[in-house]
């Protein structure tokens, strides 16, 4: 276990003591602005390294830590924040509206996974927004200037900045609160604005900025250079050959391919993401897809989204740029959460129009993806669901009989895109045992893994395990009720963070990508007898002596 | 608690102003004519200003919160209300929020149980209370039309008749007033009772509730208890509706308390959270169709950003790429 | 989703049923009242009547007459107490006819104000209004 988190038993004890309350501590007679902000091990991420900031041209590079008394803010930082707010209020109707229209009804209060896991009142979405609203009211609205204590406004101080840094980095931009808000206020939008503002004065997070710098230079978060990127996928090709006897042939940076395939680099390098990558490779080989993978646009994810709009656009621009250079017809995207929020809701607005591409048509089934006819990028789950519906895949779901699955909706796919049924359709076709988690924890009400939006840092472990508690708790429900042992996701950050969360709360539950299960179930032409899944775990009923059909 | 007492005292003092002004200062004209005109002007211009101010700001990105299946493959059933793909569907979605508080209907209550286990129960009290509060206030406002028309339009008369169907008092009991009072009281009490809501509440949250309760109590008193002769009231209100500047005949001071508090509410409205009435229609997470991959959304201020091009990338890695057998543009 | 729709539909059906029933009953009520109107009003009881002055101040009567009439109805019909004694000791029969005895000289007496203020008293559901009796 991480030194940055409590032991599970200690955290359980904390929960036992306060039940049935979610709020922690006695708050009678206290007001939120009087509650102290305490940075301690496990609740803050290391700040951006000076060299990283210099590489991507962000202001105020210096060595500092959240626990320092003096954060070495740049001269005139108050004006930078104020002007930054002003310009964003002008450019984003959303930001202005969300500052103005909250009635503080409290419907969002117990919807946030960080609030449910910490009981910290400032993790109620309404108070998270009030942290910035209180300053907004002080600086930008007439009535509140006159009646300060009446409207709960306060002046901008270094303490406020510390508070912002703490709580806007205890929000994973998952949008669950916005589902319940009668005004449709989206805390993700407010957090994005707050993080932009904080970045203006050099208050930041290395776990976000280092991937941003890497992605800018090498094309992917991990900073993998082209030759290594290619080698790594080729080693997966070797693994596939060893396991199945089939040789798949991915190509790289190939001009004239029909489809450009882009997936998060976590699928190329991380465990268990690589097994999902193997699933993609098997699938594309199975249907004979004419596709290529780019080493330049080798990242689906976009940590620019957690930094600023400009950074998001800068990193995202590579996708269209590369698609144009290679002359592909359309782009196919792998399993990822925030990548798809960017692709679905931002990409074409930022870097379009995509008139150099064609309207996506599945070369195998002839299906026109009319819902993507302008952005011209298709989600792999849509693509695969269509293949299965048309009977183009030879699948043997029994090959996943060693797994009892449940499905975790990724926040961004769920609430920023609205894709719920395609992955479920695919999952039900490739495995025989699938149980949904409780109603209030799936689909549009799904809980975040607790580590999204660039908070997957080791040093943030305490918060991650708390923030992931509601998700883990729903998994333990189906585990007890249906003996579920496999958590299937379509998000690379989930694949990176949920294994840790499961080890902490539900030891014995493993995390899978959807296309890993597709890869397991695919009956390939010319394959050898399969007894192990892509992880080299034995399949049920396929071992030595078992009847082959 | 200061944040409760402050707005309570404010409303009490505000109620006292017209009482003293009319009973002792003979300021009927000020409270009956000048202030109402000014308040209505501020209300209308204020709302107009706020709406225009919001509408002038661009919506750079299409960011609906999708609460249902998006439009996708033909055989996948789209949730047209929760994940609309056309402006009409989005309009229906906004209407379901405005008229029925659709999102609030989803409300749940989380509790920690032993284990630890998190349990979520349906919690529709806020939805019910909020709906009762807003709808009853709307009915109250609409049935006041009998003061501003010689003969109110037919639908408003029907509405008024229905409001007083429970013929148990003389004059007939208006249900809407009773419901508004009960719902407003509920909304105040929940701000005390639930410790989560208590800590997020500001004086600015209690003030409009107390103000509305004050208005309703004054109105109910005038109708059922401390009776006010309705004839000069009607003469005044008809005059106001016709932009007359005539001085009102004497009316009980309770009426002026009622009227003045309404004027305070009007003036307060555009500069406060009460503007959520207009804001809900503009909320970009609700009023935009979820069709950003189907139809390009344009950002009017889309900035030019220099990104690292493929050429720059290849320049840095060309040799390594060649060695790995990756195709390159320049040799 | 479907739960919300079901509740919303149920809600509206409930309101529609309520509104329909109520309107139906209202229309029935109207005809009943018309039938009653044909029955002559009961003869006035023998109580000394001083018709030179009203039972209370005009100002007070303007604001409170409906409450007084309501009280009278209750007293006379439920309790059998039919005599109203004013502060200065004058006695009146607790009956709408007492009022109409003087005020019906102007058939528009009630209606002028009620119409102006859009007030719809229920008196004429049973009693014959001065407008009708003077026809």
A201-219: pLDDT as tens digits: 999 999 999 999 999 999 9
Determine, yes or no, domain membership for A128: yes
pTM of the predicted model as reported, rounded to 2 decimal places: 0.91
Q: What is the pLDDT of residue C41?
A: 41
According to the model, what pLDDT value does residue A333 have? 97
Average pLDDT of the residues of chain A: 94
**Is residue A245 domain-shared with residue A105, that is, in the same domain?**
no
> Beta strand pairing status for A405-408 and A510-513?
unpaired
Structure tokens, A260: 């450009």
Q: What is the band of A438 on the pLDDT scale with cuts at 50, 70, 90?
A: very high
**Distance from chain centroid for Cα A125:** 19
Neighbouring residues of C123: CB distance < 8 A, sequence distance ≥ 6? C69, C96, C110, C129
Question: Is C122 in Cβ contact with B105 (below 8 Å)?
Answer: no
Taking only residues 440 to 479 of chain A, the set having a beta carbon closer than 8 angstroms to any beta carbon of chain B reads 440-441, 444-445, 469-470, 473-474, 477
Put simply, the answer to whether C66 touches B167 (Cβ < 8 Å) is no
Pairing of β A377-379 and β A405-408: unpaired
Tokens of B42: 């501020």
Structural domains in chain B (count) = 2
pLDDT confidence band for C135 (50 / 70 / 90) = low
The 3-state DSSP class for residue B189 equals helix
Q: A160 φ, ψ to 5°?
A: -65, -40
Whether A406 contacts A437, CB under 8 Å: yes
Within this chain, do residues B186 and B116 fall inside the same structural domain, yes or no?
yes
- Please report, in tens digits, the pLDDT of each residue of chain B (331 residues total): 788 999 999 999 999 999 999 988 889 999 999 999 999 999 999 999 999 999 999 999 999 999 999 999 999 999 999 999 999 999 999 999 999 999 999 999 999 999 899 999 989 999 999 999 999 999 999 999 999 998 899 999 999 989 988 878 888 899 999 999 999 999 999 999 999 999 999 999 999 999 999 999 999 999 999 888 899 999 999 999 999 999 898 898 899 999 999 999 999 999 999 999 999 999 999 999 999 999 999 999 999 999 999 999 999 999 999 999 999 999 8
Residues of A in contact with B100 (CB under 8 A): none
- Domain annotation covers residue A273: yes
The verdict on A186 touching B (C-beta cutoff 8 Å) is yes
Q: Which of A6, A105, A254 to mutate to test the interface with B (most CBs of B within 10 A)?
A: A105
Q: How far apart are the first and last CA of chain C?
A: 61
Q: Which residue has the tokens 């009853």?
A: B136
Instruction: Please judge whether B162 and C22 are an interchain contact, meaning their C-beta atoms are less than 8 angstroms apart.
Output: yes
Comparing A28-42, A435-449, A474-488, the range with the smallest average pLDDT is A28-42
Contact A20 B111 (CB under 8 A): yes
Q: Show residues of chain A in contact with B63, CB under 8 Å.
A: 94, 186, 189, 345, 416
Percentage with pLDDT > 70 across chain A: 98
Q: Are residues B47 and B191 in the same domain?
A: yes
Inspect the interface and report whether the beta carbons of C63 and B162 lie closer than 8 Å. Answer: no
Q: Which of A381, A343, A335 is nearest to A492 (CA)?
A: A335
Chain A residues with CB-CB distance to B85 below 8 A: 371
Is A349 touching B (CB cutoff 8 A)? yes
CB contact under 8 A, B171 and C62: no
Pick the residue of B97, B166, B171 with the most C CBs within 10 A to test the interface with C by mutation.
Answer: B171
- Which residue in C has a C-alpha nearest to residue B150's C-alpha? C116
Nearest to B82 among C1, C62, C113 (CB): C1
Confidence of residue A75 (pLDDT cuts 50, 70, 90): very high
> Cα torsion for C116, C117, C122, C127, to the nearest 10°?
-30
Asked whether A282 and A519 are in contact (CB, 8 A), the reply is yes
* B318 and B188 within one domain: no
In angstroms, the CA B192 to CA B1 distance is 10
Do A227 and A144 fall within a single domain? no
Residue A193 and residue A248 share a domain: no
Instruction: List CB contacts (< 8 A) between B280 and chain A.
Output: 101, 182-184
* Domain ranges for chain C: 40-133
Instruction: Look at residue A528 and tell me if it is in a domain.
Output: no
Candidate from C4, C22, C118 with C-beta closest to B146: C118
Size of interface B-C (CB pairs under 8 A): 52
How many CA atoms lie within 13 Å of B30's alpha carbon, on the beta-carbon side? 12
pLDDT reading at C37 higher than 60: no
Does the beta carbon of A217 lie under 8 angstroms from any beta carbon of chain B?
Answer: yes
User: Cα separation of A124 and B69, whole Å?
Assistant: 27
Kindly report, residue by residue over A389-436, the tens digit of the pLDDT: 999 999 999 999 999 999 999 999 999 999 999 999 999 999 999 999
- pLDDT higher for A160 or A29? A160
A27/B59 CB distance under 8 A: no
Residue B100: its chain C contacts at CB < 8 A? 4, 8
- Model confidence at C32: pLDDT above 70: no
Q: How many C-beta atoms surround the C-beta of residue B311 within 10 A?
A: 12
| Whether residue B211 is found in the same domain as residue B315 | no
Chain C residue with Cα closest to B223: C63
Shared-domain flag, residues A185 and A243: no
Give me the number of domains chain A comprises: 3
A173 pLDDT tier (thresholds 50, 70, 90): very high
For residue A536, the tally of other CB atoms under 10 A from its CB is 11
Q: B234: distance to nearest CA of chain C, Å?
A: 6
For residue A354, give its domain range: 218-389
- Chains with ≥3 CB–CB distances under 8 Å to A: B
CA distance B223 to chain A (A): 31
**Same-domain pairing of A179 and A75:** yes
**How many angstroms separate the CA of residue B29 from the nearest CA in chain C?**
21
- Asked whether residue B258 falls in the same domain as residue B139, the answer is yes
Structural domain for B315, as ranges: 307-331
* DSSP bridge pairs for A333: A262, A379
A 10 A CB-CB count for B12 gives 11
Looking at residue B76, what DSSP letter applies?
Answer: S
pLDDT at residue A1 is higher than 70: no
DSSP A262-275: E--THHHHSTTHHH
Given an 8 Å threshold on Cβ–Cβ distance, is B271 in contact with A142? yes
**A103–B205 C-beta distance less than 8 A:** yes
- Long-range CB contacts (< 8 A, 24+ apart) of A25-29? A25/A119, A27/A121, A27/B195, A27/B198, A27/B199, A28/B195, A29/B1
Residue A545 confidence (pLDDT): 57
- With beta carbons under 8 A apart, name residues in chain B contacting C16: none
Q: Compute the distance between CA of residue B77 and CA of residue B92 in angstroms, rounded to an integer.
A: 18
Cβ contact B79–C1 (<8 Å): yes
Residues shown for chain B: 331
**Best residue in C2, C3, C4 to probe B by mutation, most B CBs within 10 Å?**
C4
CATH no. for residue A444? 3.40.50
Contact B63 A186 (CB under 8 A): yes
How many Å apart are CA A326 and CA A321, to the nearest integer?
9
**What residues in B contact A29, CB-CB < 8 Å?**
1
Q: Is B112 strand, coil or helix?
A: strand
Residue A530 placed within a domain: no
Inter-chain Cβ pairs, chain A and chain B, closer than 8 A: 334
pLDDT at B88: 96
Q: Do B170 and C70 touch (CB under 8 A)?
A: yes
**Domain shared by B90 and B237, yes or no:** yes
Tell me the chain B residues in contact with residue A92 when contact means C-beta distances shorter than 8 Å. 57-60
Residue A241 shares a structural domain with residue A312? yes
Helix (H, G, I), strand (E, B) or coil at B65: coil
Reported as a single tens digit per residue, the pLDDT across A461-484 is 999 999 999 999 999 999 999 999
Residue B323 and residue B248 share a domain: no
Q: Does A421 touch chain B (CB under 8 A)?
A: yes
Q: Quick one: which H or E segment has residue A190?
A: helix A187-200
Tell me: do A156 and A180 sit in the same domain.
yes
Residue A413's SS3 state is helix
Interchain proximity B231–C26, CB inside 8 Å? no
Measured in angstroms, the CA of C51 and the nearest CA of chain B are apart by 24
Closest in B113, B126, B280 to A105, CB measured: B126
Comparing C-alpha atoms, which of A126, A144, A181, A171 is closest to residue B279? A181
Phi (first) and psi of residue C56, to 5 degrees: -150, 175
Task: Write down the pLDDT at residue C48.
Answer: 54
Asked whether residue B251 falls in the same domain as residue B319, the answer is: no
Helix (H) or strand (E) holding B89: helix B87-100
Rounded CA-CA distance A446/A321 in Å is 34
Q: What is the pLDDT of residue A549?
A: 44
- Chain C hits for B223, CB-CB cut-off 8 Å, are none
Instruction: State which residue of chain B sits closest to A383, comparing Cα positions.
Output: B73
Sheet holding A405-408, edge to edge: A405-408, A486-489, A510-513
User: Using the 8-state DSSP alphabet, how is residue B306 labeled?
Assistant: -
Structure-token pair, residue B174: 């208006």
Residues in chain C: 135
DSSP state of B287: S
Closest-approach residue (CA) in chain C for B146: C118
Asked if A321 lies within 8 A of B307 by C-beta distance, the reply is yes
Identify the chains in contact with B, defined as 3+ C-beta pairs within 8 A: A, C
Both A275 and A383 in one domain: the answer is yes
The pLDDT value recorded for residue A19 is 87
The CATH number assigned to the domain holding A126 equals: 1.10.1060
Chain A residues lying within 8 Å of B310, measured CB to CB? 296, 318, 321-322, 325
Give the pLDDT of residue B100: 96
Q: Where are the beta strands (DSSP E) in A32-74?
A: none
CB-closest option in B65, B82, B113 to A175: B65
- Do the chains contact at A418 and B69, CB–CB below 8 Å? yes
User: Which of A412, A418, A472, A504 to mutate against chain B (most B CBs within 10 Å)?
Assistant: A418
Task: With respect to residue A276, please indicate whether it lies within any of the assigned structural domains.
Answer: yes
Query: What percent of chain B stands above pLDDT 70?
Result: 100
Contact C64 B227 (CB under 8 A): yes
Q: Label residue A275 left, alpha or beta by phi (over 0 means left) and psi (-120 to 50 means alpha).
A: alpha
């Amino acid at each position: 276990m991480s030194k940055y988190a409590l032991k599970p038993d200690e955290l359980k004890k904390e929960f036992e003591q306060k039940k049935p309350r979610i709020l922690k501590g006695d708050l009678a007679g206290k007001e939120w602005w009087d509650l102290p902000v305490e940075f301690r091990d496990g609740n803050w991420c290391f700040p951006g390294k000076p060299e990283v900031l210099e590489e991507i041209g962000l202001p105020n590079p210096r060595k500092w830590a959240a626990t320092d008394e003096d954060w070495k803010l740049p001269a005139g930082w108050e004006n930078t924040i104020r002007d930054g707010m002003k310009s964003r209020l002008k450019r984003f109707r959303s930001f202005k509206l969300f500052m103005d229209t909250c009635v503080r009804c409290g419907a969002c209060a117990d919807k946030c996974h960080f609030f449910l896991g910490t009981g910290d009142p400032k993790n109620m979405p309404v108070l998270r927004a009030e942290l910035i609203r209180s300053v907004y009211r002080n600086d930008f609205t007439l009535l509140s200037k006159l009646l300060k204590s009446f409207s709960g406004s306060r002046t901008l101080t270094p303490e406020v900045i510390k508070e912002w840094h703490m709580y806007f980095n205890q929000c994973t931009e998952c949008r669950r609160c916005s589902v319940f808000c009668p005004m449709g206020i989206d805390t993700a939008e407010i957090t994005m604005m707050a993080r932009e503002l904080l970045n203006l004065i050099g208050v930041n997070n290395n776990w976000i900025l280092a991937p941003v710098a890497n992605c800018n230079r090498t094309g992917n978060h991990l900073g993998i250079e082209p030759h290594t990127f290619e080698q790594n996928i080729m080693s997966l090709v070797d693994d596939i050959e060893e396991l199945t006897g089939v040789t798949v042939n991915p190509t790289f940076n190939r001009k004239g391919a029909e489809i450009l395939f882009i997936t998060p680099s976590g699928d190329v390098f991380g465990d268990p993401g690589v097994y999902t990558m193997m699933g993609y490779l098997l699938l594309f080989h199975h249907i004979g897809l004419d596709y290529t993978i780019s080493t330049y646009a080798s990242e689906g994810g976009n940590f620019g989204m957690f930094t600023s709009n400009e950074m998001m656009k800068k990193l995202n621009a590579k996708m269209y740029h590369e698609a144009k250079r290679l002359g592909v017809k359309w782009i196919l995207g792998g399993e990822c959460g925030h990548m798809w929020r960017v692709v679905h809701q931002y990409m074409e607005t930022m870097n379009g129009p995509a008139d150099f591409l064609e309207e996506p048509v599945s070369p195998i089934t002839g299906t026109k993806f009319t819902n993507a006819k302008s952005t011209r990028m298709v989600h792999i789950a849509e693509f695969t669901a269509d293949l299965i519906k048309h009977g183009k895949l030879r699948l043997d779901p029994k090959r996943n009989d060693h797994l009892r699955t449940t499905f975790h909706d990724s926040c961004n796919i769920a609430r920023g895109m609205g894709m719920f049924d395609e992955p479920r359709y695919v999952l039900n076709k490739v495995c025989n045992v699938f149980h949904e988690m409780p109603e209030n924890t799936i689909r549009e009400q799904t809980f975040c893994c607790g580590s999204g939006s660039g908070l997957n840092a080791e040093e943030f472990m305490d918060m991650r395990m708390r923030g992931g508690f509601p998700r883990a708790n729903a998994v333990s429900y189906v585990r007890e009720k249906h003996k579920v042992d496999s958590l299937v996701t379509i998000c690379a950050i989930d694949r990176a963070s949920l294994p840790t969360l499961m080890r902490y709360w539900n030891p014995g539950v493993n995390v899978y990508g959807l296309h890993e299960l597709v890869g397991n179930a695919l009956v390939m032409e010319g394959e050898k007898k399969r007894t192990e899944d892509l992880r080299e775990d034995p399949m049920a009923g396929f071992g030595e002596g078992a009847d082959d059909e | 608690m200061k944040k409760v007492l402050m707005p309570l005292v404010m409303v009490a003092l505000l109620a006292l102003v017209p009482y003293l002004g009319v009973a002792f200062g003979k300021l009927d004209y000020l409270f009956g004519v000048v202030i109402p005109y000014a308040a209505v002007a501020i209300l209308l211009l204020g709302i107009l200003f706020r709406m225009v101010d919001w509408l002038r700001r661009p919506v750079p990105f299409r960011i609906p919160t999708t609460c249902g299946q998006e439009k996708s493959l033909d055989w996948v059933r789209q949730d047209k209300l929760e994940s609309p793909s056309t402006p009409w569907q989005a309009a229906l979605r906004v209407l379901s929020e405005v008229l029925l508080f659709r999102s609030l209907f989803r409300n749940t209550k989380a509790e920690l149980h032993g284990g630890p286990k998190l349990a979520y129960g349906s919690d529709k009290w806020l939805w019910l209370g909020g709906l009762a509060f807003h709808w009853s206030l709307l009915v109250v406002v609409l049935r006041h039309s009998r003061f501003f028309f010689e003969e109110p339009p037919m639908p408003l008369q029907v509405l008024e008749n229905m409001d007083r169907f429970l013929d148990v008092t003389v004059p007939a009991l208006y249900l809407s007033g009773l419901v508004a009072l009960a719902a407003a009281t509920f909304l105040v009490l929940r701000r005390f009772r639930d410790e989560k809501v208590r800590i997020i509440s500001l004086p600015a949250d209690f003030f409009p509730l107390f103000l509305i309760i004050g208005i309703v109590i004054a109105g109910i008193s005038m109708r059922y208890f401390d009776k006010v002769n309705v004839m000069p009231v009607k003469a005044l209100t008809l005059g106001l509706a016709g932009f007359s500047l005539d001085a009102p005949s004497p009316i009980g001071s309770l009426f002026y308390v009622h009227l003045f508090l309404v004027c305070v509410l009007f003036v307060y409205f555009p500069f406060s959270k009460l503007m959520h009435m207009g804001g809900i229609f503009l909320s970009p997470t609700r009023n935009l169709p979820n069709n950003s991959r189907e139809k390009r959304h344009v950002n009017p201020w889309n900035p030019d950003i220099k990104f690292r091009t493929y050429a720059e990338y290849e320049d840095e890695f060309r040799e390594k790429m060649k060695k790995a057998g990756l195709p390159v543009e320049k040799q | 989703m479907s739960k919300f729709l079901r509740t919303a539909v149920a809600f509206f059906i409930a309101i529609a049923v309520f509104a329909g029933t109520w309107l139906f009953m209202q229309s029935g009520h109207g005809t009943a009242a018309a039938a009653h109107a044909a029955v002559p009003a009961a003869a006035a009881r023998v109580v000394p009547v001083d018709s030179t002055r009203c039972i209370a101040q005009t100002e007070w009567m303007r604001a409170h007459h409906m409450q007084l009439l309501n009280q009278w109805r209750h007293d006379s019909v439920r309790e059998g107490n039919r005599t109203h004694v004013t502060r200065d000791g004058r006695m009146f029969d607790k009956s709408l006819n007492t009022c109409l005895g003087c005020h019906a000289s102007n058939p528009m007496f009630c209606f002028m104000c009620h119409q102006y203020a859009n007030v719809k008293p229920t008196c004429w559901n049973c009693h014959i209004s001065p407008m009708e009796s003077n026809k």
